[in-house]
């Protein structure tokens, strides 16, 4: 998928790709390296190079990045005396060895710019300065300085950066990571003003959080303000069709970040509306490149919260940014004897100090509406299903027996999500007082538990995104005599950042039974028998060579709502070439594989209904993670990306391990399809095409703004569902006519667009007829179907 994704980044205006380097993906054991398949770092750099793009290599090797253990190998935690990310000799020794290995690999392939390659910058460490450095005290300061010195000693011939490291020593460049970086200043006048990550506000939803999406108008505003105030590079997230595409940037050179071994999940299947707005921003900034880099700057106040920053160069070039930082009021400002309409919280870009080619609040790019089209999982075949049922509790020989509890992560060392804790206890016939219910109480450091009493699932419990520990009380029915308790402890990935994050454990701290006649029975100090992992994992039932394993039992109909069950089924290839997701809404929680390739964990957990979700989102004003929340009460994850390259022409095998119970017959593949396109453009929107405009010619922007629509390749506009020139309102799929509406609107749009792949309709099109509403600012809203 890399070449296509990189080509799309280039088409979006990027000059440069940046990527992290994942230590735990490459050094799988001390001195044992892996660079195959999606971990082929050299190949990725060359794909970027061959596309004509530059590259920023963020080695870290700690990266955070919502990645397991922040990218640091789990084995390093168990090297005696190791403490992560401080002035600790074992940690520094292994970090230096890995950094040197990566640098030498790039040097050998002649990939640094100093060798004629495309790697122009490298990063050491990641978001360490400030709070973390203070947490570790003098040892933190010493570590940060050592990291910088160690990086410089690699002699790459290209500059090094350290993001969020205000004390980065010369010549290492300190950079900004934030929602806004226009006020950021490097710690030396010899260093460029550099923005490594413009945060999108979109959080991963594994633990049932609602999802705050930062509006693209605000992202564009932040980027334009950064350039306005002299910035040089910035980075913002764009989710692009196909995979978790990650962080795209704009600057006097535009960069986009794509992690070469990025996790594949549902986010690649979503098309957030209007992100193409940022492509238009890229084009506009490129028109200003020379003057921004070479010009002198001046400032003009245009009002209480309105301003102009002007750049001029010796060749006569002139660039202006007109900003309205009022979060509420639109303004009309006068600049160089001309009037300009500035919506609240917006920036206009004038590459010739005269014509507006872009305004951050005026979204001219279309909104593409996506639907997930379900397809049958497989054609009808006899005995198409097979199952394998896990043993509840200890399978095979136990790993060990202990009085009390062991830490889950220290025991499994992240080789599996699962660890069984089992014990037995006895009760007599009079255990329960009249009218009371026995309750199993569990305290855990995280992340989840499935509790089984006498081989029956009695309940599950989990932590959440901000607090992995949890406490739960589960009503139980005991039987006279011996009772068997089996607790399946689960992790869902390891902590990825924070002070001393490697010491944050998981597993149980207290287990007791209350509601008994004789009081609470504490089981915490019992003899507990432990088993690491699942039997199906041990036998690698998910691998293609295990398809005929005799442990699989053929079934014409698979059991439903059955915990601890493995399912195997032959599946067909979804038709077409649209991106594919597997819909797991009918299932509880577990793991899935296609032809031996790990789709990953699935968990369509429902988010909280009281998580401050908003019915609409106003881009105006400073963004924060509590703004613009969506998805409350909805599944946090439903579709999981399955790359089409994982399918064979025939003979495809899907394997699912279900922990809690679900209905596997309702699993479907779904194609991600653009079903309709919309646009909403007003007459005061910029009318100049930044890509084709030649600012050396006189252009007074006399042409009218236009709506532009485009269906995906192979599809045409089949119908126009809404069209109104006047003062319509609403959003895509819910546009409404206003008090002013030109009756010819639909016919004009249909004439230009029907049965075409793309079309453009000018707001001054003669077919609309005479102006029926003088004095009203005209807007054209269109919604059209693609098929």
pLDDT (tens digit, 9 = 90+) per residue, 298-340? 999 999 999 999 999 888 999 999 999 999 999 999 999 999 9
pLDDT of residue 688: 85
* CA distances from residue 191 to 56, 159, 174, 185 in whole angstroms, order as listed: 17, 10, 8, 9
In degrees, rounded to 5, the angle at the alpha carbon of residue 389 between the alpha carbons of residues 387 and 392 is 170
* CA distances from residue 225 to 220, 355, 586 in whole angstroms, order as listed: 8, 18, 46
Give phi and psi for 681, each to the nearest 5.
Answer: -130, 135
Q: Is the model's pLDDT at 265 over the cut of 70?
A: no
Helix (H, G, I), strand (E, B) or coil at 2: helix
DSSP E strand stretches across 445-574: 448-453, 456-462, 470-475, 481-490, 508-514, 521-522, 527-532, 553-555, 565-571
Q: Is the model's pLDDT at 238 over the cut of 50?
A: no
Do 216 and 236 form a contact (C-beta atoms < 8 A)?
no
Least confident segment among 214-218, 376-380, 678-682: 376-380
- Reported as a pLDDT band with limits 50, 70 and 90, residue 729 is very high
Do 365 and 488 form a contact (C-beta atoms < 8 A)?
no
Q: Specify the higher pLDDT residue, 654 or 253.
A: 654
CA–CA dist 251, 521 (Å, integer): 64
- Reported as a pLDDT band with limits 50, 70 and 90, residue 553 is very high
DSSP E strand stretches across 115-260: 119-124, 160-163, 173-178, 195-198, 211-212, 236-237, 247-248, 255-257
- Reported as a pLDDT band with limits 50, 70 and 90, residue 244 is very low
CA–CA dist 420, 534 (Å, integer): 9
pLDDT of residue 607: 82
Least confident segment among 106-120, 624-638, 652-666: 624-638
In DSSP notation, 295-362 reads: -EEEEEE-SSSEEEEEEE-TTS-EEEEEEE--SS--EEEEETTEEEEE-SSEEEEETTSS---EETT-
**What are the strands of the beta sheet with 470-475, ordered from one edge?**
470-475, 439-444, 508-514, 521-522
Q: What is the mean pLDDT of residues 759-768?
A: 94
pLDDT (tens digit, 9 = 90+) per residue, 354-403? 999 999 999 988 988 888 999 988 755 656 899 999 999 999 999 999 99
pTM: 0.92
Alpha helices in 64-192 (DSSP H): 74-77, 89-108, 131-152
- Residues with catalytic roles: 127, 197
pLDDT (tens digit, 9 = 90+) per residue, 30-88? 999 999 998 999 999 999 999 999 999 999 999 998 889 999 999 999 999 999 999 99
CA–CA dist 212, 625 (Å, integer): 6
Q: Is the model's pLDDT at 269 over the cut of 90?
A: no
**Token pair listed for 656:** 């699912």
CA–CA dist 62, 20 (Å, integer): 9
CA–CA dist 76, 86 (Å, integer): 14
Rg (CA), the chain: 29
Q: Is the model's pLDDT at 453 over the cut of 70?
A: yes
**Token pair listed for 685:** 């929107």
pLDDT (tens digit, 9 = 90+) per residue, 8-40? 888 877 888 889 999 999 999 999 999 999 899
Mean pLDDT of the chain: 89
């Amino acid at each position: 998928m890399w070449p296509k994704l990189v080509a799309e980044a280039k088409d979006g205006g990027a000059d440069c790709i940046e990527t992290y380097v994942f230590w735990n993906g490459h050094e799988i054991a001390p001195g044992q390296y892996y660079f195959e398949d999606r971990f082929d770092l050299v190949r990725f750099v060359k794909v970027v190079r061959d596309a004509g793009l530059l590259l920023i290599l963020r080695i870290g090797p700690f990266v955070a990045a919502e990645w397991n253990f922040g990218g640091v190998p789990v084995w390093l935690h168990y090297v005696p005396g190791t403490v992560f990310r401080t002035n600790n000799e074992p940690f520094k020794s292994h970090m230096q060895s890995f950094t040197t290995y990566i640098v030498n690999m790039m040097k050998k392939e002649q990939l640094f710019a100093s060798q004629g390659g495309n790697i122009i910058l490298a990063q050491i460490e990641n978001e360490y300065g400030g709070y973390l450095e203070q947490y570790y005290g003098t040892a933190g300061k010493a570590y940060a300085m050592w990291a910088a010195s160690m990086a410089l000693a690699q002699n790459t011939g290209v500059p090094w950066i350290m993001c969020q490291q205000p004390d980065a020593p010369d010549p290492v460049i300190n950079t900004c990571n934030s929602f806004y970086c226009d006020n950021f200043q490097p710690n030396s006048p010899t260093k460029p003003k550099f923005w490594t990550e413009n945060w999108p506000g979109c959080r991963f939803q594994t633990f049932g959080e609602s999802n705050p999406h930062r509006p693209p108008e605000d992202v564009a505003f932040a980027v334009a303000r950064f350039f306005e105030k002299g910035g040089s590079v910035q980075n913002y997230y764009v989710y692009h069709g196909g995979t978790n595409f990650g962080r795209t940037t704009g600057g006097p050179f535009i960069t986009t970040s794509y992690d070469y071994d990025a996790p594949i999940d549902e986010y690649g299947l979503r098309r957030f509306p209007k992100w193409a707005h940022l492509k238009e921003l890229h084009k506009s900034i490129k028109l200003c490149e020379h003057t921004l880099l070479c010009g002198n700057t001046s400032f003009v106040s245009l009002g209480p919260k309105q301003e102009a920053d002007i750049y001029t160069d010796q060749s006569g070039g002139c660039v202006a940014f007109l900003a309205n930082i009022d979060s509420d009021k639109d303004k009309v400002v006068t600049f160089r004897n001309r009037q300009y309409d500035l919506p609240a919280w917006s920036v206009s870009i004038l590459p010739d100090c005269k014509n507006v080619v872009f305004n951050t609040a005026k979204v001219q790019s279309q909104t593409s509406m996506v639907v997930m089209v379900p397809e049958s999982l497989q054609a009808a075949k006899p005995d198409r299903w097979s199952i394998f049922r896990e043993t509840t509790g200890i399978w095979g020989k136990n790993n060990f027996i202990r009085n009390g509890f062991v830490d889950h992560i220290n025991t499994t060392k992240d080789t599996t999500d699962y660890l069984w804790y089992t014990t037995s206890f006895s009760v007599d016939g009079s255990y329960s007082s009249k009218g009371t219910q026995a309750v199993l109480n569990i305290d855990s450091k995280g992340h989840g538990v499935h509790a089984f009493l006498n081989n029956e699932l009695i309940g599950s419990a989990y932590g959440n995104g901000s607090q992995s520990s949890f406490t739960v009380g589960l009503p139980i029915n005991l039987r006279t005599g011996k009772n068997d308790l089996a607790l399946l402890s689960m992790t869902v990935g390891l902590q990825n950042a924070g002070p001393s994050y490697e010491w944050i454990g998981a597993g149980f701290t207290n287990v007791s039974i209350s509601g008994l006649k004789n009081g609470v029975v504490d089981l915490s100090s019992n003899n507990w028998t432990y088993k690491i992992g699942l039997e199906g994992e041990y036998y690698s039932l998910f691998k293609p060579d295990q398809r005929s394993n005799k442990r699989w039992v053929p079934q014409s109909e698979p059991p439903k709502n059955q915990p601890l069950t493995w399912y195997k089924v032959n599946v067909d290839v979804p038709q077409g070439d649209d991106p594919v997701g597997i819909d797991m809404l009918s299932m509880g929680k577990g793991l899935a594989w296609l032809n031996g390739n790990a789709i990953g964990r699935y968990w369509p957990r429902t988010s909280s209904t009281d998580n401050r979700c908003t019915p609409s989102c106003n881009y105006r004003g400073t963004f924060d993670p509590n703004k613009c929340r969506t998805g409350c009460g909805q599944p946090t994850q439903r579709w999981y990306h399955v790359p089409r390259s994982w399918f064979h022409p025939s003979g495809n095998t899907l394997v699912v391990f279900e922990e809690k119970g679900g209905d596997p017959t309702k699993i479907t593949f779904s194609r991600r399809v653009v079903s309709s396109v919309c646009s909403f453009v007003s007459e005061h929107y910029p009318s100049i095409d930044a890509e084709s405009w030649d600012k050396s010619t006189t252009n007074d922007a006399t042409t009218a703004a236009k709506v532009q629509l485009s269906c995906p390749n192979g599809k045409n506009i089949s119908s126009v569902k809404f069209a109104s020139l006047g003062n319509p309102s609403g959003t895509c799929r819910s546009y409404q006519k206003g008090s002013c509406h030109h009756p010819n609107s639909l016919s004009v749009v249909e004439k230009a667009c029907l049965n075409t792949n793309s079309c453009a309709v000018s707001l001054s099109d003669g077919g609309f007829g005479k102006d029926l509403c003088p004095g009203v600012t005209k807007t054209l809203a269109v919604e059209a179907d693609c098929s």
